[in-house]
Structure 1
């Protein structure tokens, strides 16, 4: 008669336990709230050259809910922004523009910059006990100087893989990086720099 060794039995127990924990984790994901405070360190020439710029932020999103964490109760396991996204993006953009030399010390025509938040989404799916998180941020930046306008559109995507559903701190980290990268790309846009310098 064939009998299982102790090692085989332990291996089966470990596999069963791992699978069971994965199912429990997938079935019981609670909602999360995250704080969004992006930061930028803009590289490139300081094309502001002392010009004054007035920055406004418009949020076109319908909700503070970014998406779902997944699981069986998909509709209730939401991930939501806790703070005011407009204010956070405004503070970050103003800081980035200061780094680029916009300080109001020159006599150049002042500029107006309107940053529109078009999209910020969080999507997740689970496959083979792994969690796949897809993020997307989209903003538009319209800059006006003496009636002349320049508009740039910037989209950033992030794809992440985790062994378990990410906690609120991890989700806040990857979302902040996504938004920071998007704002950085906008302010580092060579076409925007050329428009500013030529007006």
Structure 2
């Protein structure tokens, strides 16, 4: 009887520790533009460039008892590829044509300044995540430029630690929000038109 109780107690401890330790996650978020985008161009060429200015591909950790083992990462090359594709889609929706070309055509540079994932550090269980993204935009036409800074934040509560798919969806949502804010800024299209 005593041996059975000891085994049950050990099993319970293992389950608790499993709930406290989280494995690392490598995400592949897919940002999607939301809402209507006003077309202002008439097919003019625009060079689109994506820069990842994050100091590290690690967004943060998932918290828990051993947060150092639960890093959430988004590789730079995947993030740049996803943003390149969706930014070019936005440029097309604005009525322009993504192109590679000389310096005298408009250049739109989108820079990832921040992408963070924060969980409470003082809790054994992951109950919340705050995800934040900041993008910088520079549009250059000849000797003129337009600069913008755009941010989006999501504060998500959980009943249990989120899996990789859930975190991928959450980071995708934040990136979608901030990218959509970029394309709602009418100043970008106006400068690309040379106004």
Please, what is the CA RMSD of the aligned residues? Answer: 2.5
Q: Deviation string for 1:40-75 (max 9, x for gaps)?
A: 145232022211110111111121111100011111
Instruction: Decide which of 108, 119, 122 is 1:124's aligned counterpart.
Output: 119
Question: 3-state SS of the aligned residue for 1:158?
Answer: strand
Compute the displacement of 1:150 (Å): 0.2
Q: How does 1:10-49 map to 2 (within 5 A)?
A: 23-24=16-17, 26-41=19-34, 43-49=36-42
Compute the displacement of 1:20 (Å): 7.9
User: Moved runs in structure 1, 4+ residues, more than 6 A?
Assistant: 19-22
- Aligned CA distance change for structure 1 residues 48 and 24 (closer, same or farther; 3 Å): farther
The answer (yes or no) to whether the contact 1:140–1:154 under 8 Å persists in 2 is yes
Segments of structure 2 that go 5 or more residues without pairing to the other structure are 1-11
The equivalent of 2:97 in structure 1 is 103
Larger Rg over CA atoms: 1
Question: 3-state SS of the aligned residue for 2:118?
Answer: strand
Question: 3-state SS of the aligned residue for 1:75?
Answer: helix
The answer (yes or no) to whether the contact 1:25–1:165 under 8 Å persists in 2 is no
Aligned length: 178
CA distance in 1, matches of 2:187, 2:46: 17
Which moves more between the two structures, 72-81 or 162-171? Answer: 72-81
Segments of structure 1 that go 5 or more residues without pairing to the other structure are 1-18
Compute the displacement of 1:185 (Å): 0.6
Compute the displacement of 1:26 (Å): 4.5
